[in-house]
């Protein structure tokens, strides 16, 4: 029904264009004097008409696609009960929650309807400190003096990672999961390469990686529940499994792109098969493998937050508990810490990747320290 209406709409347009084409053809013939150029102009006209028709056809195609997308969009909204939900009725509740989310803003006061109350930030800080979200306050409790801090930093359980409190726990899940997944991702991607494993068999490994990817980490942790329930340990396992699928896929793609040259060159030196893989293949992709691993580490820290929400600990767990208590200020404080954690991880990983890509000489240690504020600003502005 809709489609009929639509094509009716484009029909007049089409006849217009044909008219235009004919008019131009007439003009072309009228201006011709020699037979040779008449033939050429005929070709030009034919090209012109063909282009015009092709263009109309393309527009018709776009219109059909637009109709289909609109229809599916409406059906999707129907499915999510968009038209039955009464969002406006809850706007008042949401406004109240906004006040809790942002205690440093006072709504309904001042010339623009919002006043600024800096004291509100203290509520965030109080919660972050109380729950050790960003810093484990008891970490140095056993120290007799500041001089013992560096010793404690490395002798305490959890070391420097534990120092970051709940954020450290989330970071630990992402980091340990990445490190555990890396060797298997490497192994599967090498075995999945057509150069190493003959054709039908390499798809055994690629298939395994596809199967792992088809299941999200959130589901993997459910699969690992019999290993001791949902907790940091099973969450780490889930992240590791997910890493094998995702990182392995990125590695495989990267290995597809390498040149045959170095592989062949290593063959002629009399290298063994493992040596050909390491020097002919892996040496070519070393930097991009490190870059992809850092990228997946970033993603894994985000996944660790998500796993925390369903009970794996760290910042995610704090967030879900505070949400259950409708303690919106505390929730926002947790979200701020999540933001800080993920932005820091991204900044470190982006800097490292940019450095790996750079063709210039390695930066000296002194430049690393002195240039840090400038680089920090630059990556913040990105």
Residues near another protein (CB under 8 A) are: 259, 261-262, 264-272, 274-275, 278-280, 283-284, 286-287, 359
Tell me the DSSP string of 207-264. HHHHHHHHS-HHHHHHHTGGGTSSSHHHHHHHHHHHHHHHHHHHHHHHHHTS-HHHHH
Rank residues 354 and 370 by Cβ distance to another protein and give the closer one.
Answer: 354
Residue with smaller CB distance to another protein, 55 or 286: 286
Min dist. Cβ of residue 306 to another protein (A): 35
- Taking the least distance from each CB to another protein, the nearer of 27 and 261 is 261
Nearer to another protein, 36 or 359 (CB): 359
d(CA 241, CA 182): 10
Structure tokens, 159:
């070391």
The pair of structure tokens assigned to 363 is: 């930066």
Reduced to 3 states, what is the DSSP secondary structure of residue 105? Answer: strand
Query: What whole-number distance in Å separates Cα of residue 175 and Cα of residue 178?
Result: 5
Residue of 237, 226, 227, 187 lying closest to 209 (CA atoms): 187
Residue 335's nearest CA partner among 354, 362, 308 is 308
Residue closer to another protein by CB (options 135, 279) is 279
Smallest distance from the beta carbon of 267 to another protein, in angstroms? 5
Q: Which is nearer to another protein, 271 or 336 (CB)?
A: 271
Q: How far is the CB of 256 from another protein (least distance, A)?
A: 18
User: Residue 178 CB, nearest distance to another protein (Å)?
Assistant: 22
Identity of the residue, 263 or 347, whose beta carbon is nearer to another protein in the bound complex:
263
Nearer to another protein, 3 or 267 (CB): 267
Smallest separation (angstroms) from another protein to the CB of 274: 4
How far, rounded to the nearest angstrom, does the alpha carbon of residue 78 sit from its chain's CA centroid? 29
Q: Least distance in Å: CB of 280 to another protein?
A: 8
Give min distance, CB of 258 to another protein, in A: 10
**Nearest CA among 341, 337, 342, 362 for reference residue 352:** 362
Backbone angles phi, psi at 114, to 5 degrees: -135, 125
**Cβ nearer to another protein, comparing 128 with 250:** 250
Chain-centre distance for alpha carbon 342: 12
- Determine contact, residues 243/329, Cβ cutoff 8 Å: no
Q: How far is the CB of 266 from another protein (least distance, A)?
A: 6
What's the maximum distance between 2 C-alpha atoms anywhere in the chain? 106
Work out the end-to-end distance of the chain between its first and last CA atoms, rounded to an integer number of angstroms. Answer: 49
Per DSSP, the three-state class of 373 is helix
Integer Cα distance of 182 and 176 in angstroms: 10
Instruction: Identify which of 192, 223, 186, 195 has the alpha carbon closest to the alpha carbon of residue 207.
Output: 192
How many other CB atoms sit within 10 Å of the CB of residue 97? Answer: 16
Residue 275 Cβ vs another protein, minimum distance, rounded to whole Å: 5
């Amino acid at each position: 029904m809709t489609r009929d209406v639509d094509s009716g709409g484009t029909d007049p347009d089409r006849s217009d264009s044909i008219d235009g084409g004919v008019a131009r053809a007439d003009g072309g013939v009228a201006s011709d004097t020699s037979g040779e150029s008449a033939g050429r102009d005929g070709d030009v006209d034919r090209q012109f008409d063909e282009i015009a028709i092709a263009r109309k056809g393309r527009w018709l195609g776009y219109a059909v696609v637009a109709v289909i997308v609109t229809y599916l969009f409406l059906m999707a909204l129907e499915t999510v009960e968009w038209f039955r939900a009464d969002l406006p009725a809850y706007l008042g509740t949401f406004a109240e929650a906004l006040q809790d989310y942002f205690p440093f803003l006072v709504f309904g006061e001042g010339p623009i309807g919002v006043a600024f109350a800096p004291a509100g930030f203290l509520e965030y800080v109080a919660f972050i400190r109380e729950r050790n979200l960003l810093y484990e306050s008891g970490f140095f409790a056993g120290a007799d003096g500041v001089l013992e801090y560096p010793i404690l930093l490395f002798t305490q359980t959890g070391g420097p990672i534990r120092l970051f409190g709940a954020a450290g726990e989330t970071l630990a899940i992402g980091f340990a999961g990445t490190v555990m997944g890396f060797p298997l991702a490497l192994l599967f991607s090498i075995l999945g390469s057509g150069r190493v494993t003959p054709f039908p068999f390499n798809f055994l490994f690629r298939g395994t990686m596809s199967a792992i990817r088809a299941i999200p980490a959130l589901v993997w942790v459910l699969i690992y529940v019999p290993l001791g329930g949902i907790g940091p340990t099973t969450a780490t396992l889930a992240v590791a499994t997910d890493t094998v699928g995702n990182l392995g896929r990125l590695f495989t793609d990267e290995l597809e792109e390498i040149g045959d040259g170095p592989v062949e060159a290593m063959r002629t030196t009399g290298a063994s098969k493992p040596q050909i893989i390491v020097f002919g293949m892996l040496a070519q992709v070393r930097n991009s493998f490190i870059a992809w691993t850092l990228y997946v580490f970033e993603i894994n820290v985000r996944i660790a937050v998500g796993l925390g929400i369903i009970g794996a600990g760290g910042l995610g767990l704090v967030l879900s508990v505070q949400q259950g208590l409708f303690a919106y200020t505390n929730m926002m404080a947790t979200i701020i810490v999540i933001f800080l954690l993920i932005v820091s991880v991204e900044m470190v990983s982006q800097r490292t990747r940019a450095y790996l890509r750079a063709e210039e000489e390695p930066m000296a240690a002194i430049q690393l320290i002195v240039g840090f504020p400038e680089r920090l600003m630059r990556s913040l502005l990105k």
